[in-house]
Chain A
Amino acid sequence: MPAIATMPVKERSAPARMAPPSRFGDKTFEWLTLGMALVVILLVFLIGWQLARGSSLAIQKFGFNFLVTSTWDPVTEQFGALPFIYGTLVSSLLALLIAVPLSIATAVYLTELAPLWIRQPIVSLIEMLAAIPSVILGLWGIFVMVPWLRDYLFPLLKRAFGWTPFFTGPIYGPSMLAGGIIVAIMILPIITSVSREILRSVPNLQREAAYALGATRWEVTRIAVLSYAKKGLFGAVILGLGRALGETMAVTMVIGNTPQIAASLFKPGYTLASVIANEFTEATTDVYLQALFELGLVLFGVTILVNLLAQLLLKTMTAKSATRAAE
């Protein structure tokens, strides 16, 4: 994180000037923090293990097919997770496509351009958005957002982009796109506030140097600020993605809850987290319950996989820019 990288060296050496150090405190502190860190790691493993144990019957019965088939039928006990995996990934991707430009633009405005007096009110408002419970947001989604999307935005999109497969078919309202938009609203605050902290930690020297070279405001923002903070901003996006993948209540209110894979974003979809929340309480047979557990395991796996991919992307990205700098 750049925030750590830019910390002045002086501060770190300050304790050296104090009275003779007692090793005991340091050691205890080290063990204590190590213990805490291990607990967190252990927790992740325990969750994974417990999910795998809870779904062992379903794993045995359906094997790999669970991941690649599309039927979800509690009556005949045929279970396939593909439409849910698809729905989770697509709704999260849509959310990122909408939320990332908005959040980063907001963060840039707040740190680089906005007059000082306006910054704090905007920051408070964004943080208030994060405090809205997701079930409230979901109800607002049903009663306000979805009708508005159905009557205004969706017909507009259909007229403009109806020639692509993404905006075809009848418009009901509850849809994959509505799900993506509600998730976007939910991850906006976290991406914005983390991005803002990262942009604030860009040293002013960077900006001053760029101005000294005669750069315009846009050039300063692009070259000195955004490119410097790239890695941190990417981290902010990943945090948002993590939330998006697991978002449940609000999504389930507006996504239409239909397990299907359709190119059109006007069609209803379903996510992993939603189906678990929807069906867990009334699942009476063993295989059914275990299949729901396995969905949890799949969601766990998808989240880890997406995070790993993101880390990989970040590595190749920074490696590329490093070689470019070296040239």
Chain B
Amino acid sequence: MTKLHRLSSRLLGLLLAFGLIATASAQMTINGAGATFPYPIYSKWFDEYAKVDPSVRFNYQSIGSGGGQKQITAQTVDFGASDGPMSDENLSKAPGKILHIPTVAGADVVAYNLPGNPALKLDADAIAGIFLGQIKKWNDPKILALNPGVNLPDQEIVVVHRSDGSGTTYIWTDYLSKISPEWKSKVGTNTSVNWPTGIGGKGNEGVAGQIKQTPGALGYVELIYAIQNKMPYADVKNVSGKFVKPSLESITAAMATAQIPDDFRFSITNAPGDSAYPISGATWLLVYEQQKDSAKGKKLVEFLKWAQKDGEKMAKDLDYAPLPNALQAQVLKRIDEIKF
């Protein structure tokens, strides 16, 4: 045997040994896929949960809400994740009953680029008018009336929206459909729509980039994104007539006052309550009520409970709004109904 041969056979032995160790301590892997918006907090949860229960490992692919809904329906993953609730049509395609487990919430903010970036206030009429292409200039009487004392230029408003399908757009169009009958009939609610006006940017970074680079631009981005990129954003008048600054507290407030149906397929846009920010939305985990694999089902339920109890406490550090206490208790009760 030459030296090289001996070396390679030794290497082979080493590899085999490693392989054996790896199979000996095989963990259970729970697979999930879906929404990109909650990906940062989910991966934090999975990381932390590995310390709580080392025998289970989570693998989450942030492929988008559409993909998450499709994969849970096709049962190729153990749980799905979506920024919008599943439609009745899509739910009926699933082989079993799918539960919606709300986890955290976020908001869309109206970001803009004006000389000096003054603080702005907007209401439903103004926002709908701008996005329908009816309010074209910054010094439009409607905007001026909301912002007395602010020097608004005689400049065209360059509307920027998301071009990629996203939960952010779902929340945005859901809000517009609720406050403007014209928007509802002309455009509607979806993850991507047929925009009456404006230019499309890909992703939060694309929209933020266009707004930052275009004088006179206005568009919507996720609150987290606006905070982290220090973009100016407007206070929005809610249905109670109060101007509310988008913040984690005002999102949680919206969840506390919004109507929550029994299946948790709720929408918290335009929620009542003095401190509710009106353009907010939650994100959900999708799981089957009847788990196929009982061992996996048990671990999944344990994790879901941990996420509601302990995971929620990490939300604020990552700029996500946690669920209000009352809703959390309801959700925990629902998790108990999962059979495995």
By a beta-carbon cutoff of 8 Å, the part of chain A in contact with chain B is 71-76, 139, 142-143, 146-147, 150, 170, 172-174, 252-253, 256-258, 268, 270, 274, 277-285, 289
Are A75 and B188 closer than 8 Å at their CB atoms?
A: yes
| Residue numbers in B under 8 Å from A71 (CB-CB) | 194
Residue B210, interface by CB 8 Å = yes
User: A284's contact among B66, B187, B188, B194, by CB below 8 Å, is which?
Assistant: B66
Are A279 and B194 closer than 8 Å at their CB atoms?
A: no
Are A143 and B213 closer than 8 Å at their CB atoms?
A: yes
Using known A-B contacts A76-B188, A146-B213, determine if residue A268 contacts B63 with beta carbons closer than 8 Å: no
Are A252 and B165 closer than 8 Å at their CB atoms?
A: no
Are B187 and A75 closer than 8 Å at their CB atoms?
A: yes
The listed residue with most B CB atoms (<10 A of its CB), out of A72, A76, A257, A285, is A257
Are B191 and A257 closer than 8 Å at their CB atoms?
A: no
Residue B180, interface by CB 8 Å = no
Inter-chain CA distance A91–B164, complex, in Å, is: 20
Residue B302, interface by CB 8 Å = no
Which single residue of chain B is at the shortest CB-CB distance from A267? B199
Are A281 and B194 closer than 8 Å at their CB atoms?
A: no
Are B200 and A284 closer than 8 Å at their CB atoms?
A: no
The smallest C-beta distance from B87 to any residue of chain A, in angstroms, reads 7
Using known A-B contacts A73-B193, A282-B66, determine if residue A142 contacts B188 with beta carbons closer than 8 Å: no
Residue B206, interface by CB 8 Å = yes
| Residue numbers in B under 8 Å from A76 (CB-CB) | 188
Inter-chain CA distance A150–B65, complex, in Å, is: 35
| Residue numbers in B under 8 Å from A174 (CB-CB) | 199, 201, 210
Inter-chain CA distance A173–B214, complex, in Å, is: 8
Inter-chain CA distance A173–B156, complex, in Å, is: 14
| Residue numbers in B under 8 Å from A281 (CB-CB) | 63-67, 164-165
The smallest C-beta distance from A90 to any residue of chain B, in angstroms, reads 17
Inter-chain CA distance A170–B158, complex, in Å, is: 10
| Residue numbers in A under 8 Å from B158 (CB-CB) | 172
User: A257's contact among B167, B189, B202, B209, by CB below 8 Å, is which?
Assistant: B202
Inter-chain CA distance A170–B70, complex, in Å, is: 42
Residue B133, interface by CB 8 Å = no
Are A72 and B65 closer than 8 Å at their CB atoms?
A: no
Which single residue of chain B is at the shortest CB-CB distance from A144? B213
User: Can you list 25 contacts pairing A with B, beta carbon distance less than 8 Å?
Assistant: A74-B192, A74-B193, A75-B190, A75-B193, A76-B188, A139-B209, A142-B210, A143-B213, A172-B214, A173-B214, A253-B206, A257-B199, A278-B165, A278-B200, A278-B202, A279-B165, A279-B192, A281-B66, A281-B164, A282-B165, A283-B165, A284-B69, A284-B70, A284-B90, A289-B66
The smallest C-beta distance from A72 to any residue of chain B, in angstroms, reads 6
| Residue numbers in A under 8 Å from B164 (CB-CB) | 277-279, 281-282
Inter-chain CA distance A139–B208, complex, in Å, is: 11
The smallest C-beta distance from B52 to any residue of chain A, in angstroms, reads 31
Are A74 and B190 closer than 8 Å at their CB atoms?
A: yes
The listed residue with most A CB atoms (<10 A of its CB), out of B64, B66, B89, is B66
| Residue numbers in B under 8 Å from A270 (CB-CB) | 200
Residue B290, interface by CB 8 Å = no
| Residue numbers in B under 8 Å from A283 (CB-CB) | 66, 165, 191
| Residue numbers in A under 8 Å from B90 (CB-CB) | 284-285
Inter-chain CA distance A253–B200, complex, in Å, is: 9
Inter-chain CA distance A256–B55, complex, in Å, is: 48
| Residue numbers in B under 8 Å from A279 (CB-CB) | 164-165, 192
Residue B198, interface by CB 8 Å = yes
Using known A-B contacts A173-B213, A258-B195, A278-B163, determine if residue A268 contacts B200 with beta carbons closer than 8 Å: yes
Inter-chain CA distance A72–B209, complex, in Å, is: 25
Inter-chain CA distance A171–B162, complex, in Å, is: 20
A73-B194, A142-B210, A174-B201 are known; give 16 further A-B pairs, CB within 8 A: A142-B201, A150-B214, A172-B199, A173-B214, A268-B200, A270-B200, A274-B163, A278-B163, A278-B192, A279-B165, A281-B67, A282-B66, A282-B166, A282-B192, A284-B69, A285-B87
Q: List B residues 154-210 near A (Cβ within 8 Å).
A: 156, 158, 163-167, 187-195, 198-202, 205-206, 209-210
| Residue numbers in A under 8 Å from B202 (CB-CB) | 252-253, 257, 277-278
The smallest C-beta distance from A280 to any residue of chain B, in angstroms, reads 8
Are B194 and A282 closer than 8 Å at their CB atoms?
A: no
| Residue numbers in B under 8 Å from A268 (CB-CB) | 199-200
A-B residue pairs, 3 tightest by C-beta:
A282-B165, A257-B200, A281-B64
The smallest C-beta distance from A237 to any residue of chain B, in angstroms, reads 29
The smallest C-beta distance from B47 to any residue of chain A, in angstroms, reads 24
| Residue numbers in B under 8 Å from A74 (CB-CB) | 165, 190-194
The smallest C-beta distance from A234 to any residue of chain B, in angstroms, reads 34
Which single residue of chain A is at the shortest CB-CB distance from B65? A282
Q: List B residues 47-80 near A (Cβ within 8 Å).
A: 63-67, 69-70
Which single residue of chain A is at the shortest CB-CB distance from B198? A258
Which single residue of chain A is at the shortest CB-CB distance from B166? A282
Are A142 and B213 closer than 8 Å at their CB atoms?
A: yes
| Residue numbers in A under 8 Å from B201 (CB-CB) | 142, 174, 253, 257
The smallest C-beta distance from A287 to any residue of chain B, in angstroms, reads 11
| Residue numbers in B under 8 Å from A172 (CB-CB) | 158, 199, 214
Are A257 and B163 closer than 8 Å at their CB atoms?
A: yes
The listed residue with most B CB atoms (<10 A of its CB), out of A278, A282, A284, A289, is A282
Are A72 and B200 closer than 8 Å at their CB atoms?
A: no
| Residue numbers in B under 8 Å from A285 (CB-CB) | 87, 89-90
User: A75's contact among B64, B189, B205, by CB below 8 Å, is which?
Assistant: B189
| Residue numbers in A under 8 Å from B210 (CB-CB) | 142, 173-174
Inter-chain CA distance A256–B214, complex, in Å, is: 12
Which single residue of chain A is at the shortest CB-CB distance from B214? A173
| Residue numbers in A under 8 Å from B156 (CB-CB) | 170
| Residue numbers in A under 8 Å from B87 (CB-CB) | 284-285
Are A258 and B200 closer than 8 Å at their CB atoms?
A: yes
The smallest C-beta distance from A81 to any residue of chain B, in angstroms, reads 14
Are B214 and A282 closer than 8 Å at their CB atoms?
A: no
